[in-house]
Amino acid sequence: MKITDVRCAVIGSNPVVRIVTDEGLSGYGEAEQYKPYLKPFVLHYRDALIGEDPTDVERCMLRIRKRGSFKPWGSAVSMIEMALWDVAGKAAGLPVYKLLGGKIRDKVRCYNGAIRRPMKGVSPEDYAAEAKWMKGLPHGFSFIKMGVAFHSQMKHEVPNFHYGELQERRSPFHGFAESALMTERGMAHLLDCVHAMKEVLGTEVGLALDCGPGFTVPDAIRFARAVEPLNLMWLEDTITGDYTPYVNADVYRDLTMSTTTPIHTGEQIYLRQNFKGLIEGHAVNIVGPDPCDIGGIAELKWVAEYADLHGILMAPHGTGNGVLGIAALVQVCATLPENFIAFELPTASHDWWWDIVDGLPAPLVQNSLIEVWDRPGMGVELNPERTKPHLKEEDAGFFD
């Protein structure tokens, strides 16, 4: 089997890659809805892959892997990797999890950080209302994640939340943030919001917090210690994280060693090599790579295994990875070691995405769990006839 073409279309807001082969099989991979600009980056790798055997996934990846980088630029490589596994599974007549070593769980746990509605404000009452709404979702999530502080509008809408002016206000890019020292008033407001959410959730539903990046180290330590009695799932990306092109493992270690509140990061990190400092230095308690940013699902599994050797937990990121991204996360998370907690359930960029794919169970999530399916490849397939009406004119030949 040989690759005859690599195509990319922006469907809705998500870039989707199609690996075309000379035996009539195709594989698909998808990146976050926040990255429609990735199409030319995906096509940049086309010539390096034409003529290769897509079932030799690692051999293909060796041809392109070093041309990626930290979020968002590793996404193009990552979505190609997932499409290669999709082809390999279909060619073997096996679900991808079988090719990754086989599943160790029949159901995988997910949590909610992406199913949201517009918040009315950033008061403790507003946060309590959102937590109550999430608690009542039919998915029965075991825990939820809420954005606070520098990963929310608090930094803009709470008067005197921090000292100085954030550079983010002058940036047009999604995910851009700078660090600022919080005022006493800002810290008190943040803690009031967290307490309000926990009062609603009780011990029935856990709470994780997406915090930044943006905290200074002293503020992160103060905050982590202050919430210790609340038994939070974790504090995520306090210091570096989303769209940060470096790790700062030594700084994270200072934070992690100072508190019993679990510390989490990793969604922006590309490749296993860039997790070494976090894992070998025990700089965090939980790593959360995104399969659409780390370099794909095999790369994610490698990091999970290495983290497990060091007593570090795994909770993969998801958010905007879309419906095909859900399939990839289910396949790889079925194979992860016992340090796996749950993955963040992605959402679709448009409601019609649920109508253009075949293979997803309905309902998808029950009691926070998704049953692992056994269909070949990723097990979720784009339906060409139902997808074509949603293709842009420039992508009309995507399925030809």
pLDDT per residue as tens digits for the range 109-128: 999 999 999 999 999 999 99
Please give the pLDDT value at position 179: 84
CATH C-level class of 3-93+383-393: alpha beta
Token duo for residue 166: 């954030």
Residue 265 pLDDT class (50, 70, 90 cuts): very high
User: Quick one: what percent of the chain has pLDDT higher than 90?
Assistant: 96
Say if pTM beats, i.e. exceeds, 0.95.
yes
Residue closest to 391 by CA, chosen among 3, 6, 10: 10
Q: Has residue 170 got a pLDDT over 60?
A: no
Q: Has residue 168 got a pLDDT over 60?
A: no
Q: Under CATH, domain 99-378 is a member of which superfamily?
A: Enolase-like C-terminal domain (3.20.20.120)
- Mean pLDDT taken over the chain: 96
Q: What angle in degrees, to the nearest 10, is found between the helix axes of 57-64 and 75-92?
A: 160
The H or E element spanning position 194 is helix 184-201
Greater confidence (78 vs 174) lies with: 78
**What contacts 202, CB < 8 A, 6 or more positions away?**
none
CA distance 317 to 35: 16
Q: Nearest 5 degrees, angle CA 53-CA 75-CA 352? A: 95
Please give the pLDDT value at position 166: 65
First vs last C-alpha separation in the chain:
19
Q: How confident is the model over 63-82, as a mean pLDDT?
A: 97
Q: Cβ–Cβ contacts within 10 Å for residue 34, how many?
A: 18
Greater confidence (153 vs 171) lies with: 153
CA distance 170 to 168: 5
Boundaries of every domain in the chain: 3-93+383-393, 99-378
